[in-house]
């Protein structure tokens, strides 16, 4: 409850100074009136080849075009100045995003599709990379997620302003996590409500039970659980803006006697509960803190309680893209499924159910990006063009990452190792559609 330790926050919807600051690395290029040198064309050829010859042509600042070795390019990437070219070749993971945000790199066509083709191509090529290239183009371990640093990390992303997120998240419960398209034709709102219902069913909630939620976002799951499943919820979050919204919304819906929103770190959860749930927080916990999280769940889950963790993950251990980790999600690390389940192995837990919703996240992000684009003028007015371009790339790149399978979405249900009151099967989860008929 130590809200006093929270950092002073800027007023909602003002220009995010910290954000602009982090982009300063991508210094603005100057207009260029010279032709490219031959070594610059050679560098682009190398860049394409090292990236596995993706179907991308590069247009240089004098309109010269360099095409890949193989086949016909499907996309054209324009590089506006020689410095942009140099940083792209030496540090593409970080530079691509910074240059795109700064408008020094342009893409002529479908951005998610280009990113997907690029990821696929690099994924294949990487296996043959020489050591020096691996070292040059490497990503870095995520920054600290200690109690103090976690606040900065979360503040950086989640306190950008509720008005911003409201523009493109679902209008049902402001869910900033993967939706559940049990049918492919669901709307974003239906799919987000289906996700909430799906999670409640996996937890086998019964009226009167108690639930603790770690990292509750704008509080939508807590309200859904209280409203539709009659449980009492303690919901933790260190994002001040989200907590303020969550409390107001619970009051508006007359649920304030059943939900307590607590502005505090998940590590300070106390008490015992019938269910532990965390949707989209594990990405920010950091591998080093998994044993601590396991111990916490061990302590606060009743003997017959069920725990559910929902998180972005990987098929195998891999560092986060440098640009995403630096500019978008400081401290983020999506665990491999093995690292994820080490939480269960390090505690005395038994894994009951793992579900992978990877393509559901690609669809969720596609819906988000559509709405984001509809509001791009408003968003540029709220922040600036650089911010809008950075977020467009982040959303498009994420679609691509889930599309090609470089990211996964795991829901893991587990319980104390000696719990005997287990669900007989998963039949009960599927007795009726999870999504409302319309929204």
Binding residues vs a copy of itself (CB under 8 A): 120, 180-184, 315-317, 336-338, 341-342, 344-346, 348-356, 358-359, 403-405, 408, 410, 417-420, 422, 424-427, 429-431
Q: Is 77 exposed, middle or buried (0-12, 13-18, 19+ CB in 10 A)?
A: buried
Between 91 and 315, whose beta carbon lies closer to a copy of itself? Answer: 315
In Å, how far are 333, 338, 400 from 317, measured between CA atoms? 10, 8, 19
Its sign, for the CA torsion 314, 321, 23, 59, is negative
Tokens of 399: 């679609």
Q: Closest Cα to residue 32, out of 58, 59, 62?
A: 62
Between 103 and 436, whose beta carbon lies closer to a copy of itself? Answer: 436
The distance of closest approach from Cβ of residue 367 to a copy of itself in the complex, given in angstroms and rounded to an integer, is 16
Between 218 and 349, whose beta carbon lies closer to a copy of itself? Answer: 349
Between 242 and 408, whose beta carbon lies closer to a copy of itself? Answer: 408
Between 368 and 414, whose beta carbon lies closer to a copy of itself? Answer: 414
Instruction: Please tell me the distance from the alpha carbon of residue 51 to that of residue 34, in angstroms, as a whole number.
Output: 27
The distance of closest approach from Cβ of residue 340 to a copy of itself in the complex, given in angstroms and rounded to an integer, is 9
The distance of closest approach from Cβ of residue 185 to a copy of itself in the complex, given in angstroms and rounded to an integer, is 10
The distance of closest approach from Cβ of residue 342 to a copy of itself in the complex, given in angstroms and rounded to an integer, is 6
Q: Are 375 and 168 in contact (CB under 8 A)?
A: yes
Question: Which residues, 6+ apart, have CB-to-CB distance to 185 below 8 Å?
Answer: none
Q: Is 32 exposed, middle or buried (0-12, 13-18, 19+ CB in 10 A)?
A: middle
Question: Which residues, 6+ apart, have CB-to-CB distance to 377 below 8 Å?
Answer: none
The distance of closest approach from Cβ of residue 161 to a copy of itself in the complex, given in angstroms and rounded to an integer, is 34
The distance of closest approach from Cβ of residue 359 to a copy of itself in the complex, given in angstroms and rounded to an integer, is 6
Between 230 and 433, whose beta carbon lies closer to a copy of itself? Answer: 433
Cβ count near 286 (within 10 Å)? 23
Between 125 and 429, whose beta carbon lies closer to a copy of itself? Answer: 429
Q: Are 218 and 242 in contact (CB under 8 A)?
A: yes
The distance of closest approach from Cβ of residue 341 to a copy of itself in the complex, given in angstroms and rounded to an integer, is 5
**Residue written as token pair 């050591």:** 131
């Amino acid at each position: 409850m130590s809200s006093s330790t929270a950092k002073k926050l800027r007023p909602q919807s003002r220009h995010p100074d910290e954000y602009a600051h982090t982009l300063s690395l991508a210094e603005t290029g100057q207009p260029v009136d010279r032709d490219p040198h031959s070594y610059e064309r050679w560098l682009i050829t190398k860049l394409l080849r090292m990236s596995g010859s993706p179907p991308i042509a590069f247009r240089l600042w004098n309109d010269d075009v360099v095409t890949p070795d193989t086949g016909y390019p499907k996309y054209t990437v324009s590089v506006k100045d020689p410095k942009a070219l140099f940083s792209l070749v030496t540090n593409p993971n970080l530079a691509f995003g910074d240059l795109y945000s700064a408008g020094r790199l342009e893409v002529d066509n479908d951005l998610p599709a280009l990113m997907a083709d690029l990821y696929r191509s690099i994924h294949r090529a990487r296996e043959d990379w020489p050591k020096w290239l691996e070292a040059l183009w490497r990503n870095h371990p995520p920054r600290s997620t200690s109690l103090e640093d976690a606040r900065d990390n979360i503040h950086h992303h989640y306190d950008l302003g509720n008005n911003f997120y409201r523009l493109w998240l679902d209008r049902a419960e402001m869910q900033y996590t993967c939706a559940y398209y049990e049918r492919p034709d669901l709307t974003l709102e239906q799919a987000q409500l289906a996700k909430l219902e799906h999670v409640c069913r996996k937890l086998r909630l019964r009226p009167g039970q108690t639930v603790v939620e770690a990292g509750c976002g704008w509080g939508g799951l807590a309200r859904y659980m209280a409203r539709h499943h009659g449980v009492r919820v303690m919901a933790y979050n260190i994002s001040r803006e989200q907590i303020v919204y969550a409390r107001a919304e619970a009051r508006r819906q007359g649920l304030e006697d059943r939900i307590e929103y607590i502005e505090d770190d998940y590590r300070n959860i106390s008490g015992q509960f019938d269910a532990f749930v965390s949707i989209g927080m594990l990405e920010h916990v950091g591998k080093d803190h998994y044993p601590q999280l396991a111990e916490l769940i061990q302590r606060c889950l009743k003997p017959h309680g069920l725990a559910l963790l929902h998180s972005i993950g990987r098929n195998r251990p891999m560092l986060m893209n440098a640009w995403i980790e630096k500019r978008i999600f400081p401290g983020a690390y999506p665990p491999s499924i093995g690292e994820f389940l080490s939480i269960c192995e390090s505690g005395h837990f038994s894994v009951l159910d793992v579900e992978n919703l990877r393509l559901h996240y690609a669809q969720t992000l596609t819906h988000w990006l559509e709405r984001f684009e509809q509001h791009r003028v408003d968003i540029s007015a709220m922040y600036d063009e650089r911010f809008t371009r950075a977020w467009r790339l982040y959303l498009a790149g994420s679609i691509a990452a889930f599309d090609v399978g470089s990211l996964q979405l795991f829901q893991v249900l587990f319980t104390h190792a000696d719990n005997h009151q287990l669900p007989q099967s998963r039949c009960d989860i599927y007795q009726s559609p999870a999504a409302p008929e319309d929204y």
